[in-house]
Copies of this chain bind each other. A is one copy, B any other.
Amino acid sequence: MTGYGGNVLVRGGTLVLPEGLVKADVLVEDGVITAIGRGLSAQGVDERIDASGKLVLPGIIDEHVHMREPGLTYKDNFTNGTKAAAAGGVTTVLEMPNTLPPVDSRKAFEEKKALLEPKAYVDFGLYGVIHDSNADNFDELVHAGAVGFKIFMGPTTGNIPSPSDGTLYEILLKSAKYGVTLAFHAENWDLVKHFTSKIRSSGRSDPRAHLEARPVICEEEAIQKLILFSKKTGGRVHIVHMSAEEGVELLRQAIFEGLNVTGETCPHYLILTADDYSKYGNLMKVNPPVREKHHQDALWKAVREGVICALGSDHAPHTREEKLKEVWKASAGFTGVQTFLPLMLDQALRGKLPLTKIPELMSENPAKLFGMYPRKGTLRIGSDGDLVIVDPNSETVISEENLYAKHPVTPFIGWRLKGVVKYTILRGTIIAVDGKVVGEARGRWVSRIQVDN
């Protein structure tokens, strides 16, 4: 026992793996999986969970969260955020760098890491950010252990400027050199401003006007540029929060050509459509916007086929007041890390997605993209004992009281979902039961590890 984690034997459950379902016990010793099998002996293991009739998945990795600390803690903080994660079956979060100050140097990185680690209820990795004036810090951030970088093609919370094309080219060369993934917010900012001004000056102020202020060409232009740059440099381009059919088609073509280009989408693009603006108003305002039904259909197809290989929640909490302003002033995004697995589990149990896709999209692929595999993201001997145990036969209702968010504002309040997260286990220790966090903050910072391909 070295103190890496706990011991637990999960018995009688059905493992949900990318390659299929299989009934087996899982033994975790000192935080690491040491055996998978039938009738494993429990000698010397204090904690046993009877998972009969339950599904056992690898712990969920949410590759895309904005926990808001430091600097924006009026929106939410890391303690709440990682408690929400634990309650929702997420055992690792990858935290975005657009906090205040932004994570744009080794110093800022180390300070954020030191600030957050004592508050972490789940394991976490940190992104760096690159813009024109800190491009030289790329290497030191890689060496500091950043899981990847976030690049904003347009300004964002925290006012991080977008890089010029020359800088973009150089950081993609660096990405290729280190094999490190760059996560792109791919919207052409000049076009966004243009169309926003056009629609706004036409007098529109209904929630759906936000959709028309960001037509598909904004995403498409940014994505096709990134694909070209990846082709020329070998850099690893990961397009996050994909929302549109045209983007999916560009991605599909890039994959077909063998480029290092991957894509992420989020539950809200798969579950909501433009028809919902009339119901949820600015609560569902998010960037890029939720679009018409045919875009959703294309995203589902891409997810099922593996063209989009990863999901993220884009957890982005704001205060209720910020969300309830009129459309042009309302903040974009909403809390998501706690409902991430429940929403997707519900979709799978309703038949929209094979269950086996959940560990692929929400554990294994994020771990691979951000240099944590096979330590994280899989149920195999020697991997971290991160597990989530789910009851597929019960139901749950999302309610404000059950959310750990400081401001529990999301369009999904009141939704009844199939499936219940029963246990969340982090490195062999139970950290949440039935949606309630148990025990102290045991989360650790996780570095990107280099894996030869």
Per DSSP, chain A at the interface is mixed
Residues of B with C-beta under 8 A to A164: 190, 194
Residues of B with C-beta under 8 A to A34: 37-39
Residues of B with C-beta under 8 A to A39: 34-35
* 328-375 of chain A: CB within 8 A of chain B: 374
With A191-B166, A378-B19 known as contacts, the answer to whether A221 contacts B228 (CB < 8 A) is yes
A381 within 8 A of B: yes
Copy count, this protein chain: 4
Nearest residue (CB) in B for A256 is B256
A326 within 8 A of B: no
In the complex, A63 Cα to B193 Cα: how many Å? Answer: 35
What range describes how many residues of A lie at the interface? 35 or more
Residues of B with C-beta under 8 A to A115: none
Residues of B with C-beta under 8 A to A22: 374, 380-382
Q: Judge whether B41 and A37 touch: CB under 8 Å.
A: no
24 A-B residue contacts at CB 8 Å? Answer: A15-B381, A19-B19, A19-B380, A22-B374, A23-B381, A24-B380, A24-B381, A33-B37, A34-B37, A35-B37, A35-B39, A36-B381, A41-B41, A166-B190, A166-B191, A166-B193, A166-B194, A166-B197, A167-B194, A169-B194, A170-B194, A220-B228, A256-B256, A258-B305
- Given A35-B37, A35-B38, A170-B194, 17 more contacts at CB 8 Å? A19-B19, A19-B378, A20-B374, A20-B380, A22-B380, A22-B382, A23-B381, A27-B37, A35-B35, A35-B39, A38-B381, A166-B190, A166-B191, A166-B197, A169-B194, A221-B225, A224-B228
